[in-house]
Chains A and B, each alone.
Chain A
């Protein structure tokens, strides 16, 4: 036991006491949150762009309306950019957001009829970027009832995503709707008031506080409902990754530098392996504690600590310990079987894929945490740890027996993996020369 402890301590220090460790502890969340952050930053600081749009107006009345509306809109965009206030809220009337700081300048095409030759000419102008887009309003747009195949055509290089198109859609429809209502003798204002929507709020379940009083019902934050499980899953993934990767490297170092021969003269393969796994679990718990402390600190500063699901932490730790053991044992066996990091990586690719499985379908699991997919992934050992924290973080009540069952299944699988990995480790760590085939490695594992 004393030897296992000595080995574990060294392993822990080798993992935690490096600059690389410190760097990845910091870099991981920075990278993950960074992309989210960067997106919102770029949305807000994007410079103001003028978009010249040529309009062929067959109706003779829509273009002036567009131009008036554009002046108002451009003014709002300019104000938003200079005063840095968000323009992201949609109007009551359902006007699309103005997120990108685009100014629209509508110009008359100056044509009575539009031919394919004109369309080509305008398309060419769009390609040259002398104009941004051109739009065709056929005369029949104003017909009521609307004939079947009438549509406004918007031509630009990015016509599917263009903000101008969605804004135009809203504006033209609003204009035409009002015009139709007026022609029927109805005041459009009345219709707007009559069709004011009633919001249906998604509420969190009511709880009793620690002191016994019933807490006020609170509206659920849709973002938090998605972001929290995502963070929990990513955290689990990171912790496992940060534990398993150094394990691979340390076993490879011990093997290639023949340190293993010296170590095995002092400790049995079992002691060596147990010590290494113990040190790795210790290291992974350190990572978790750093992130937990960091998370609590940040939320406390922002006064959101009450939203932090602290009761999840013990479950997280339980799944983490077993999950880390599961993957570290596999990485250890692989590290002992090969002689170069490159070979290890190709062997580990399928393991990575299995481990990342929940990340491909996480949104489906979050939407239905008690669905078949969620269940299957919870009892499939490589994905169990990440899936379970993902489900728990949704706040949906997962029965305790289910949590324990998933843990037990994972733990049993981990014991089996450790037993097999121990045999591979014993043979592989002293194996020099040609890298064995996968079938050979498995034979070591199952026959000993």
Chain B
């Protein structure tokens, strides 16, 4: 049994003229939780679909659970597609039974009951899918993906459309899956969720891998240049000092970037001299900051490609 649940080597996928994913290398160790982040249209879903064998890569190799590519469907995989993926006119229990059986899991009644209870959806078992709210449908979809106890679970935007309570419930369920030995790969736009849940974070931007590693290693790549300050006088403005950029005001707090992080100590002194401070903190860049820094339109190779990214 190979150590890696997923291995991509030099994978490229084109759609006509458009290169969706370029020369991508990736390895997801078994038993880990792997988060895919990236702006819309950057190649996340395409990569997930190649892992699922829905797309074949034009170049490179995709090895999933030790198996090189082939068009064979794999019962050891569970998949939650981005939105929808459920028959509208089927009842919840019938649908879950069907998806379980398709994966070769026939005595699934107990399992379905357990999951419905766990995600607080018992009352919905005999309702038709089109009678469910978006969040409810999302939970049913999640159960459908994991009902057959897959070794590898691929979730495309599992948290979209969920309220905080359900989001927590789903997060616990995912963590439990990992505890049970499953590997979980999910894509998300929720950076906080990615920070809190993932062992490894992978960011793809315009088809290229831009980040791949644990949160600590990623943060270490970026200088700790963000500062959070609070002034004693709530009406005061931040003093105009050299080396301060991108000032943002959040209520009584200010956040800004130091253009020269080594001069942090000096900046504190200068600022304290100009205005009485109650609070001054140099913070690690959050995943959100890093994401925005990479994916900001001006980071494009040209104005045209930047526009293209937004459109995608």
Contacts and interface: CB of A to CB of B under 8 A. Distances in A.
Asked if chains A and B come from one complex, the reply is yes
Contacts of A254: 87
A268 B83 contact: no
Interface string A257-299: 1110111111111010000000000000000000000000000
B71 A268 contact: yes
A18 B72 contact: no
B169 to A, nearest CB: 22
Given A3-B102, A6-B98, A259 B75 contact: no
Given A14-B87, A267-B73, A268-B71, A261 B102 contact: no
Interface in B58-93: 71-75, 77-79, 81-90
A94 B78 CA distance: 81
Contacts of B81: 258, 261-262
A2 interface: yes
A136 interface: no
A7 interface: yes
Contact of B73 (A18, A259, A264): A264
Nearest to A269: B71
Contact of B89 (A18, A261, A265, A267): A18
Contacts of A267: 73, 102
A120 to B, nearest CB: 67
Contacts of B104: 2-3
Contact of B72 (A7, A257, A262, A268): A268
A261 B79 contact: yes
Given A10-B98, A253-B88, A261 B73 contact: no
Contacts of A263: 102
Interface residues of A, number: 23
B54 A266 contact: no
B88 A266 contact: no
B85 A261 contact: yes
Nearest to A262: B85
A430 interface: yes
Contacts of A265: 52-54, 73-74, 77-79
Contacts of A430: 54-55
B58 to A, nearest CB: 15
A7 B102 CA distance: 8
Which one of A10, A14, A265, A268 has the greatest number of beta carbons of chain B within 10 Å?
A: A265
A265 B73 CA distance: 5
Contacts of A14: 87, 89-90
B99 interface: yes
Contacts of B189: none
A259 B85 contact: yes
A258 B98 contact: no
Interface in B89-135: 89-90, 98-99, 101-104
B86 A266 contact: no
B235 to A, nearest CB: 53
B49 interface: yes
B194 interface: no
A6 B105 CA distance: 11
Contacts of B89: 14, 18
A266 B82 CA distance: 17
A339 to B, nearest CB: 13
B263 to A, nearest CB: 51
Interface size band for B = 20 to 34
B144 interface: yes
Given A265-B74, A265-B79, A268-B72, A257 B88 contact: yes
A379 to B, nearest CB: 36
Contacts of A261: 49, 52, 54, 79, 81, 85
Contact of B85 (A6, A258, A269, A271): A258
A273 to B, nearest CB: 13
B73 A262 contact: no
Interface string B15-58: 00000000000000000000000000000000001001111000
Contacts of A264: 53-54, 73
A262 B144 contact: yes
Scoring A254, A258, A430 by chain B CB atoms within 10 A of each residue's CB, the highest score goes to: A258
Interface in A6-37: 6-7, 10, 14, 18
Contact of B84 (A3, A259, A266, A271): A259
A429 to B, nearest CB: 10
B77 A253 contact: no
B79 to A, nearest CB: 5
Nearest to B141: A262
B123 to A, nearest CB: 23
Interface string A109-124: 0000000000000000
Contacts of B77: 265
A259 B87 contact: yes
Contacts of B84: 257-259
Contacts of B86: 257, 259
A271 B72 CA distance: 11
A268 B103 CA distance: 12
Nearest to A275: B102
Nearest to B48: A261
Given A6-B101, A267-B102, A258 B88 contact: no
A266 B98 CA distance: 11
A261 B50 CA distance: 12
A268 B49 CA distance: 15
Contacts of A18: 89
Given A261-B49, A430-B54, A266 B85 contact: no
A274 to B, nearest CB: 13
Nearest to A265: B79
A18 B87 CA distance: 14
A257 B88 CA distance: 9
Contacts of B145: 262
B73 A253 contact: no
A269 to B, nearest CB: 8
A266 B73 contact: yes
A261 B154 CA distance: 12
29 contacts: A3-B104, A6-B101, A6-B102, A7-B102, A10-B98, A14-B87, A14-B89, A14-B90, A257-B85, A257-B86, A257-B88, A258-B81, A258-B84, A261-B52, A261-B79, A261-B85, A262-B81, A262-B85, A262-B144, A262-B145, A263-B102, A264-B53, A264-B73, A265-B74, A265-B77, A266-B75, A266-B102, A267-B102, A268-B71
Interface of B: 49, 52-55, 71-75, 77-79, 81-90, 98-99, 101-104, 144-145
Given A3-B102, A6-B98, A265-B53, 6 more contacts: A6-B101, A14-B89, A262-B99, A265-B52, A265-B77, A268-B72
Across the A-B interface, the 9 shortest Cβ-Cβ residue pairs? A266-B102, A257-B84, A265-B79, A6-B101, A258-B81, A262-B85, A258-B85, A261-B81, A258-B84
